[in-house]
């Protein structure tokens, strides 16, 4: 490979590594070119880039931006999924595609910020609800005490109103 081509690949990797919130390493052995193209297409619909990379070029890029811990999940031929937005969405999209297609694709691990995730944690991350659902649950939990306080403060007035209503009903009869 020409030196200029390698420099270009490393700079692309640096760009992908620096803008990604999560990077998931997979073993792609046994995939046909058609299956790889389908996988890339499915992940691209979710805003995820998927690239087969040479280890030595990846190590250069990782070292240059201060992510040498990426070496811990790289062994042998590897393809990386670069997720830029929601980390759960990236893990979920990759995991669902693997399950639905029954490809011989295996998650090796991931890098979330500066933390290495073993393959089991990436799969666990994929099973989490989406960000919107988690935010809705959090808001519901935050509103629950306020609703309870409202009910407690409103209860005596409701009781008084009920007594007055019953009293007016008996007077009107």
Given a cut of 80, whether residue 25 has pLDDT beyond it is yes
Give the count of domains, the chain.
2
The answer on 143 and 117 residing in a single domain is: no
The answer on 147 and 66 residing in a single domain is: no
The answer on 48 and 26 residing in a single domain is: yes
Average pLDDT over residues 131-157: 81
Report the Cα 106 to chain-centroid distance in Å: 17
Q: Which residue has the higher pLDDT, 148 or 95?
A: 95
Express as a percent the part of the chain with pLDDT over 70. Answer: 99
The answer on 56 and 85 residing in a single domain is: yes
Given a cut of 70, whether residue 1 has pLDDT beyond it is no
The answer on 148 and 113 residing in a single domain is: no
Using a 10 angstrom Cβ sphere, with 0-12 exposed, 13-18 middle and 19 or more buried, the burial of residue 5 is exposed
The model's pLDDT over 74-121, given as tens digits with 9 standing for 90+, comes to 888 899 999 887 788 888 888 888 888 877 788 899 998 888 999 889
Domain of residue 142: give its range: 129-173
What CATH number is associated with residue 22? 3.30.70.1730
The answer on 14 and 96 residing in a single domain is: yes
The answer on 107 and 28 residing in a single domain is: yes
Q: Which of 39, 44, 28 is nearest to 101 (CA)?
A: 39
Given a cut of 80, whether residue 161 has pLDDT beyond it is no
Angle, CA of 110, 94 and 136, to the nearest 5° = 90
Report the 10 Å Cβ neighbour count for 24: 30
Given a cut of 70, whether residue 21 has pLDDT beyond it is yes
The answer on 59 and 109 residing in a single domain is: yes
**β-pairing, 106-112 with 78-83?**
unpaired
pLDDT at position 74 is: 86
The answer on 134 and 124 residing in a single domain is: no
pTM of the predicted structure, to 2 decimals: 0.73
Q: Does residue 71 contact residue 59 with C-beta atoms inside 8 Å?
A: yes
Average pLDDT over residues 28-57: 88
Average pLDDT over residues 60-79: 86
Given a cut of 70, whether residue 65 has pLDDT beyond it is yes
Place 24 in a pLDDT band, splitting at 50, 70 and 90: very high
List alpha helices for 65-130, DSSP H: 87-101, 119-126
Q: Average pLDDT of the chain?
A: 85
Average pLDDT over residues 66-72: 85
């Amino acid at each position: 490979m020409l030196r200029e081509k390698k420099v270009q690949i490393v700079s692309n990797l640096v760009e992908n590594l620096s803008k990604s919130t999560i990077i998931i390493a997979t073993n792609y052995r046994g995939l046909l070119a058609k299956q790889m193209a389908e996988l890339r297409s499915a992940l691209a619909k979710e805003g995820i880039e998927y690239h087969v990379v040479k280890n030595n070029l990846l190590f250069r890029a990782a070292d240059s931006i201060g992510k040498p811990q990426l070496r811990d999940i790289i062994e042998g031929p590897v393809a990386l999924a670069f997720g830029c937005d929601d980390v759960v969405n990236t893990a979920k999209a990759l995991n669902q595609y693997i399950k639905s297609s029954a490809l011989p694709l295996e998650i090796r691990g991931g890098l979330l910020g500066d933390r290495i995730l073993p393959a089991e944690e990436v799969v666990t991350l994929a099973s989490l609800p989406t960000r919107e659902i988690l935010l809705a649950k959090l808001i519901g939990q935050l509103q629950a005490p306020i609703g309870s306080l409202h009910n407690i403060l409103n209860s005596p007035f409701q009781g008084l109103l009920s007594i007055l209503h019953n009293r007016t009903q008996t007077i009107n009869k």
